[in-house]
C-alpha cells in the first residue's frame, strides 16, 4: 500500500473512521443472470486488486501489502436479495444502509456486490461496496467500467472471456512469517534508497535554485513548509454548534438535478460545476442550522483534490489529496457565495504540499497505531461535512441487458457529520447524502434544506 492508503486502513482502529464507499444503481429491469455473472467474473479476473486481501507487516516497519487471497470465494462477494416493502427507492436504500454500516472482513478482498430484486415497476437495484483503501471515486468508476455496456445487446466475448478458468489459480506457496519479515525489510531498504535519491535530487535542485535566485528558493521552501502545516493543522472540534456527535449509524438519502442547470449556475460567475454544487450544499447547511435556531457563518469542509494527472492518471489505489478548510454558509446572495467558495477552493487546490501527501502520511504512519489514529482521527472528526464531485458517463449505459436509470454515490463519513457526493450521469447529477445518525437525527430535514440550497443556486444561474 502507499503510505496514504495505509493510513486510511490503520486509523480504522476507531470504527467511526471507516472509509467505505457505496454505490447504488437503479435498473429498469433485472439484469440477465448469466451475463451478469460472466461480467462480474471477467471484472474480477481483469482487476487483481479484487482478488487480493490486506496483509500486515509482522515487523511493523512497512505498510500493509496487497496479497493474492488463496481462499478467494466469488460467491461470498456476490449476493442477491429481495427488496423489502413495496420496493420503492427508499426501500432500496434501506437495504444499502446496513451494508454501508457493516465492517469488511479484513481477511478477504474488500468489495461486495448485492443485486436487489423486486423493486416497483419491475425494476431492480444493485449495491456496490468497496473499501476506500482499494481506490478513490474516479478509480471506482474505472473499476466498474467492465460491468457497464453501451447498449442492451450482448457484447461480443473478448479473448479473456473464452476458454479461461473462472479465476487464475494461485500457484505460489503462501508466504511464511520469515518471508513476510524479509519482504518488509527489503521494502524499507528500497524505500530508503529511493528517498535518498529524491533527497539528493531535491538538494541539487535547491542548490541550483539558490544559485539562480536565493530569495526565491528560500521562499519556495517556506511555502511548502507552511502548506504542510496548514494541511495537518490540528482542530479539536467541529465548527458546527449543532452537528457534534459521532456514531456508527449511517443514513442514506438522495436527490438529483440537471447537470446543464448546475453548469450554467457555475458559469454565471465564471466558475465551475463544483463551485455551484458546493455553494448549494453550503446554503443548505445554513438553512438546516437556522431551522434549529443555531446561526452559523462558516463550517469546516473537507474535499478531495484529484491528483490523477500525468503519470498518476492510470495508477491503482487512491490518487487524491484531502483538504480541510472553512467555507462560508451564511452569504445570502447565492452568486456571491459561489464567488467566495470559488476563491477558497482555488486557493486550497494550489497548496504546494499536496503532491507530497504520501510523505506526510508516511510520517503519521511512523507513529504507534493508536497515536496515529488519535492524531489523524481527531482532525477528521473536526470536519462538519465532506463534498466530492465524481464525473460519470455522459450517456446512458446498460448492465447485462438492463438500462441503468440512476447511479447514486455514497461517500464515507470518515469521522464527519455528513458526506455529500455528486455523480454526473446522462445529463443529470445524482447526489448521495450520507449522514451520521447521531450528528444529524433528522436527515430528511437536512436533505430538504440541501435541495432548497441547490435550487437557490440553480435559480441564480437561470436568471443570469
Instruction: Cite the active site residues.
Output: 132
Question: Which CATH number fits the domain that encloses residue 361?
Answer: 3.30.559
- The answer to whether residues 328 and 451 belong to one domain is yes
How many structural domains is the chain composed of? 2
Residues 6+ apart with CB under 8 A from 456: 280, 283, 334
The label of the residue with cell 542548490 reads 207
- The answer to whether residues 211 and 279 belong to one domain is no
Question: In the predicted model, is pLDDT for residue 238 greater than 60?
Answer: yes
Highest mean pLDDT among 11-20, 206-215, 311-320, 426-435: 426-435
- The answer to whether residues 267 and 370 belong to one domain is yes
CB-count burial class (<10 Å; 0-12, 13-18, 19+) for 157: exposed
Least confident of 28-37, 125-134, 349-358: 349-358
> Does a structural domain hold residue 262?
yes
Question: In the predicted model, is pLDDT for residue 154 greater than 90?
Answer: no
| Whether 15 contacts 248, CB under 8 Å | yes
Q: What is the DSSP-derived secondary structure letter of residue 463?
A: H
Q: How far is CA 409 from CA 230, 255, 265, in A?
A: 29, 11, 22
- The answer to whether residues 254 and 317 belong to one domain is yes
> Does a structural domain hold residue 443?
yes
Question: In the predicted model, is pLDDT for residue 165 greater than 80?
Answer: no
What confidence category does residue 173 fall into, taking pLDDT thresholds of 50, 70 and 90? low
| Whether 249 contacts 438, CB under 8 Å | yes
- The answer to whether residues 359 and 226 belong to one domain is no
> Does a structural domain hold residue 380?
yes
As a whole number of angstroms, the distance between CA 236 and CA 379 comes to 7
What confidence category does residue 323 fall into, taking pLDDT thresholds of 50, 70 and 90? confident
- The answer to whether residues 298 and 212 belong to one domain is no
Q: φ and ψ at 19, to 5 degrees? A: -120, 75
- The answer to whether residues 284 and 344 belong to one domain is yes
The label of the residue with cell 450521469 reads 425
* pLDDT value of position 145: 83
Instruction: Give the mean model confidence (pLDDT) for residues 344-366.
Output: 71
- The answer to whether residues 227 and 259 belong to one domain is no
* pLDDT value of position 160: 46
* pLDDT value of position 463: 87
Q: What is the DSSP string of 64-131?
A: -EEEE-TT--HHHHEEEEEPPTT--HHHHHHHHHHHHHSPP-TTS-SEEEEEEE--GGG-EEEEEEEE
- The answer to whether residues 218 and 274 belong to one domain is no
> Does a structural domain hold residue 51?
no
Q: What Rg, from alpha-carbon coordinates, does the chain have?
A: 23
- The answer to whether residues 262 and 319 belong to one domain is yes
> Does a structural domain hold residue 374?
yes
> Does a structural domain hold residue 30?
no
- State the CB neighbour count (10 A cutoff) for residue 190: 10
**Residue 396, SS3?**
coil
CB-count burial class (<10 Å; 0-12, 13-18, 19+) for 304: buried
| Whether 26 contacts 390, CB under 8 Å | no
- The answer to whether residues 457 and 361 belong to one domain is yes
As a whole number of angstroms, the distance between CA 48 and CA 167 comes to 10
> Does a structural domain hold residue 20?
no
> Does a structural domain hold residue 288?
yes
* pLDDT value of position 52: 94
pLDDT in tens, 418-459: 999 999 999 999 999 999 999 999 999 999 999 999 999 999
Instruction: Give the mean model confidence (pLDDT) for residues 409-418.
Output: 96
Least confident of 105-119, 134-148, 303-317, 334-348: 303-317
- The answer to whether residues 223 and 261 belong to one domain is no
Provide the mean pLDDT of the chain.
83
Residues 6+ apart with CB under 8 A from 165: none
Least confident of 95-99, 320-324, 390-394, 409-413: 320-324
What confidence category does residue 340 fall into, taking pLDDT thresholds of 50, 70 and 90? very high
* pLDDT value of position 171: 46
Share of the chain above pLDDT 90, in %: 60
Q: How far is CA 199 from CA 183, 187, 351, in A?
A: 24, 18, 21
Question: In the predicted model, is pLDDT for residue 400 greater than 60?
Answer: yes
Which contiguous run of DSSP H or E holds residue 273? helix 273-291
Range of the domain at 218: 178-231
Q: How far is CA 42 from CA 109, 140, 160, 280, 448, in A?
A: 16, 16, 7, 40, 41
Amino acid at each position: 500500500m502507499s503510505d496514504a492508503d495505509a493510513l486510511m486502513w490503520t486509523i480504522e482502529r476507531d470504527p467511526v473512521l471507516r472509509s467505505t464507499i457505496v454505490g447504488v444503481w437503479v435498473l429498469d429491469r433485472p439484469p440477465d443472470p448469466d451475463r451478469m455473472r460472466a461480467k462480474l467474473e471477467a471484472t474480477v479476473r481483469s482487476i487483481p486488486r479484487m482478488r487480493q486481501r490486506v496483509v500486515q507487516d509482522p515487523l511493523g516497519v512497512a505498510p500493509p501489502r496487497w496479497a493474492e487471497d488463496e481462499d478467494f470465494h466469488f460467491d461470498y462477494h456476490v449476493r442477491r436479495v429481495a427488496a423489502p416493502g413495496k420496493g420503492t427507492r427508499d426501500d432500496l436504500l434501506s437495504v444499502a444502509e446496513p451494508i454501508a454500516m457493516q465492517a469488511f472482513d479484513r481477511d478477504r478482498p474488500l468489495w461486495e456486490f448485492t443485486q436487489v430484486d423486486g423493486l416497483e415497476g419491475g425494476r431492480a437495484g444493485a449495491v456496490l461496496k468497496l473499501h476506500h483503501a482499494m481506490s478513490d471515486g474516479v478509480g471506482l468508476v474505472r473499476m466498474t467500467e467492465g460491468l457497464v455496456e453501451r447498449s442492451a445487446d450482448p457484447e461480443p466475448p473478448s479473448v479473456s472471456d473464452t476458454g479461461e478458468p473462472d479465476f487464475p489459480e494461485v500457484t505460489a506457496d503462501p508466504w511464511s512469517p520469515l518471508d513476510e519479515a524479509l519482504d518488509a525489510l527489503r521494502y524499507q531498504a528500497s524505500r530508503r534508497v529511493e528517498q535518498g535519491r529524491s533527497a539528493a535530487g531535491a538538494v541539487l535542485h535547491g542548490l541550483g535554485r539558490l544559485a539562480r535566485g536565493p530569495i526565491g528558493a528560500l521562499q519556495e521552501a517556506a511555502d511548502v513548509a507552511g502548506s504542510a502545516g496548514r494541511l495537518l493543522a490540528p482542530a479539536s472540534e467541529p465548527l458546527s454548534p449543532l452537528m457534534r456527535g459521532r456514531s456508527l449509524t449511517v443514513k442514506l438519502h438522495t436527490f438529483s438535478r440537471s447537470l446543464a442547470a448546475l453548469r450554467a449556475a457555475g458559469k454565471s460567475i465564471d466558475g465551475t460545476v463544483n463551485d455551484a454544487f458546493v455553494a448549494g450544499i453550503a446554503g443548505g447547511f445554513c438553512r438546516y442550522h437556522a431551522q434549529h435556531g443555531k446561526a452559523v457563518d462558516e463550517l469546516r469542509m473537507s474535499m478531495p483534490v484529484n491528483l490523477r494527472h500525468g503519470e498518476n492518471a492510470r495508477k491503482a489505489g487512491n490518487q487524491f489529496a484531502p483538504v480541510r478548510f472553512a467555507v462560508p454558509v451564511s452569504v445570502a446572495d447565492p452568486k456571491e457565495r459561489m464567488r467566495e467558495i470559488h476563491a477558497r477552493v482555488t486557493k486550497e487546490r494550489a497548496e504546494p504540499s499536496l503532491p507530497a501527501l504520501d510523505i506526510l502520511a508516511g510520517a503519521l504512519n511512523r507513529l504507534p497505531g493508536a497515536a496515529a489514529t488519535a492524531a489523524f482521527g481527531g482532525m477528521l472528526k473536526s470536519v462538519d461535512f465532506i463534498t466530492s464531485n465524481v464525473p460519470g458517463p455522459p450517456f446512458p449505459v446498460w448492465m447485462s441487458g438492463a438500462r441503468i436509470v440512476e447511479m447514486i454515490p455514497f461517500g464515507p463519513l470518515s469521522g464527519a457529520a455528513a458526506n455529500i457526493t455528486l455523480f454526473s450521469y446522462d445529463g443529470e447529477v445524482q447526489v448521495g447524502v450520507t449522514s451520521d445518525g447521531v450528528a444529524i437525527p433528522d436527515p430528511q430535514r437536512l436533505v430538504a434544506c440541501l435541495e432548497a440550497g441547490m435550487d437557490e443556486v440553480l435559480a441564480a444561474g437561470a436568471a443570469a
